[in-house]
Amino acid sequence: MAGARTSGAVRPDEIRQHNLSLVLSHVHRDGALTRAELTQRLHLSRSTVGALVGDLAQLGLVEEVVPSGGERVGRPSHVVAPHAHGPYAVGVDVDIAHVTVAAIGLGGSISTRAVIPTVPEMRPEQLVDLVADALPRLRTTIGSVGRVCGVGVSLPGTVDLVTGRVGVAPNLGWEGVPLGDMLRDVVPADVPVVVGNDADLAVLAEHQRGNARDCDDVVFLIGRIGVGAGIISNGVPVHGRDGHAGEIGHNVLDPSGPLCHCGKRGCIETFLGESALLALAGRALPRTDAKVAELFKDARAGEPGAVRAIALVAEPLGRAIANLMNTLNPERVVLGGSMGEVFDLARADVEAAVARYAFVSDAGVDLVLPAFGTDSALLGAGEVAFTALLADPH
């Protein structure tokens, strides 16, 4: 976040907007803060902070409340918190067999969600219909309070961040889909729509409030039917020229390996993807959510086939992490989805492979699970949906 503005050759209304944006962004990221904390953080006068908080309260974005719980001596001090009935972002997380749609409030809290199973080979038009259908349902569920301030969509594919055009989403079978424009046709004109890659959005959420907070060099390795990486380097998200950065699922680990749907052999996805896991455990394909969940449940219960499959995947997972370390030198790697499950079940094997294959074997990278479980990409979608409101509170 940039610093507070008090002077310079900018118009007073620009200074006010900038400072409103700062106060709201701090409360959004960090939760309830006292006026004194805001004054200290923003290097503004108490009266200026008071006026800004008053304006944001007037807009229905924050409210001043007495924090509940905890014994305090003397007069309770009010805190500035996200308004309980303030605007909400709609986060949409597109996975291969289901779509999750959620209302996410300022501060990143999910107030309601719906998980909608999808048909195999869902077309982009079907996703757009699903989102258009979900918006009024969300409103009914959370009541008439609040308003939608943005729609954010996470999906497993490459995305042009400016237009929301999907370049290629192999596991959805999509190529060159103007998804951003299609969605803008079905949401109110004043509601911004942002589309992003699932791993990119997952790393954003974990960096903002989760297990990569205050960590400026982090990779989120997400495992679903495919495998991808979301990267923040020196505090800046890395997308590459066309949004392909982090598409490591099709890096070749072994050219004599299994045939990948992309036409090459031995891609990371053919070793670490969920279909590969099921095949290694001797389970029938095609992959379904239920089969994947059952595999991990069985592995936890010690079923030999499932345990063996996890052990076989631990080594290439460690190798993939080592490759990321050699390329990006992250401080932390967050392992999400099925990669997190494998890591949790075979931590020592994964760490041993990392140590074996990393250029600097004691590089000291932290391997962690996501703070938000399977919700990181969904929350990241909500996060980007708030961008316009945070930049210009209204």
The answer to the question of residue 346 lying near Zn ion (CB under 5 A) is no
Residue 231 Cβ vs Zn ion, minimum distance, rounded to whole Å: 19
Q: Which of these segments, 81-89, 122-130, 257-265, 279-287, binds Zn ion (CB under 5 A)? A: 257-265
Q: Which of 165, 207, 224, 250 binds Zn ion (CB under 5 A)?
A: 250
Residue 122 Cβ vs Zn ion, minimum distance, rounded to whole Å: 21
Cα dihedral 29, 31, 34, 35 in deg (nearest 10): 40
d(CA 74, CA 283): 63
β-strand pairing of 88-94 with 79-82: unpaired
Beta-bridge partners for 292: none
The answer to the question of residue 260 lying near Zn ion (CB under 5 A) is yes
Q: Which of 4, 94, 267, 368 binds Zn ion (CB under 5 A)?
A: 267
Q: Which of these segments, 209-217, 252-260, 282-290, 357-365, binds Zn ion (CB under 5 A)? A: 252-260
The answer to the question of residue 193 lying near Zn ion (CB under 5 A) is no
d(CA 200, CA 178): 19
If you write DSSP's letter for every residue of 84-110 in order, what string do you get? TTS-EEEEEEE-SSEEEEEEEETTS-E
d(CA 129, CA 144): 22
Residue 130 Cβ vs Zn ion, minimum distance, rounded to whole Å: 28
Residue 270 Cβ vs Zn ion, minimum distance, rounded to whole Å: 7
Q: How far is CA 169 from CA 121, 129, 197, 275, in A?
A: 11, 19, 9, 17
Q: Which of these segments, 109-117, 267-275, 317-325, 355-363, binds Zn ion (CB under 5 A)? A: 267-275
Residue 166 Cβ vs Zn ion, minimum distance, rounded to whole Å: 18
Residue 170 Cβ vs Zn ion, minimum distance, rounded to whole Å: 8
Question: Of the two residues 248 and 328, which places its CB atom closer to Zn ion in the complex?
Answer: 248
Residue 253 Cβ vs Zn ion, minimum distance, rounded to whole Å: 10
Number of residues that bind Zn ion (CB under 5 A): 5
3-state secondary structure of 261: coil
d(CA 351, CA 369): 14
- Could you tell me which residues come within 8 angstroms of residue 317 by beta carbon, excluding any fewer than 6 positions away? 272, 339, 342, 343, 350, 353
d(CA 85, CA 318): 45
Is 337 within 8 Å of 224 (Cβ atoms)?
yes
Task: Kindly calculate the radius of gyration of the chain based on its CA atoms and give it in whole angstroms.
Answer: 22
3-state secondary structure of 33: strand
For residue 367, give both structure tokens: 């391997």
Residue 264 Cβ vs Zn ion, minimum distance, rounded to whole Å: 5
Q: Which of 116, 186, 238, 262 binds Zn ion (CB under 5 A)?
A: 262
Q: What are the residues binding Zn ion (CB under 5 A)? A: 250, 260, 262, 264, 267
